Structure 1
């Protein structure tokens, strides 16, 4: 499929939808609004596809489809969360007929099963919602990290996943290596869980599967980290007088398989 063919198809569809619509004949009720939005979207397709190579156009199309499906899942979850979903068409027709209650068009679906991811990687960026971390820094290899300090406890908000969740803290350095294995983590106010220390070529990884607590957020979870103790480089002849514990590069999360 070539780039011109995609653009031509978008142009043809936009032109077909540009004809006048007789409002009195519109069925369902929302059809005129739906077609108006389709014309706007198709015109954006025409603009986006202009000048793209066939390979780039195919990649654009796949990315757009994935984005639309993801957003549809979020909308469905919003409709189904806490109750039964009602089709917009059924609701509109029921309103026209003066019905006080529309019969659900489909069975209830658990919202979390639709939209919650099963894995995520959270880099330690400055914009991240955190407490107990110093500002972002760059390592000699170009990667970013943030020290926990001046107190040994810190927290950050991570994407909400379905439990049980394996938490992996990728650590660049530590100022208290003798207590690294005693580091604890907790999710959403749940019980503290001591990590397992894994040493890799890329650095140190702290691994734990903490139980999820009862603090409920719509799309995020709070990850608490207790690194036990801090130390200052100044006590060891350096100029840095900050109290530091562990330097976190990123947090890796995944829902354990078979759960």
Structure 2
């Protein structure tokens, strides 16, 4: 008889942004399989008697690591009743939760998915940047910036150049130069505002503002993982440079008809 596996989203880092369901499961778990990006503050919420399994997964993990994680979850489900697979953000947004769910279902294991606040939503909120805004952005797209099998970013750059769409790139730090160049080449304005956020929602979060043109230089001052937001909505950040109002002409002008 298998135990149950819970694919739980840990949110963007701040433990106060955990869902009530996620917190309850962490407190009741007897085994937790977690990634490196789950914050220490959130790990402190875990049942102290639970067995912890740090799979240390990052974007550039070694080949076959996901297979090892799948096998570990299956093995733990045979010996534990409540297995929590804890992922940063949301399990189904670049978290490979779909692959783990499929594998476990194929092996007869019951799975429950507990959504979390994904990094795009958490980072934008912490910076005061709305991802959609009337008159600036009518849609948003969440995009991977991670190379696939060293073949480059296989993206539809023409569609991503739509100025009415906010873009949020995950795992993009190593490819910011390529992203900026491709978007500009496909029609996105080089002066399109951008924001970078690192450790978003945490007390030590860092952020920076710029444009597509200055993105490569700004990215050099950040360490992965960081989130990249592109679009006119970034202008709504309180610190984004505002264009100066035109100088008022203070010269005295006689009202029309007053001349003789």
Q: What's the TM-score, normalizing by structure 2?
A: 0.20
Higher normalized helix content (fraction of residues): 1
Which of these two proteins has the greater Rg computed from alpha carbons? Answer: 1
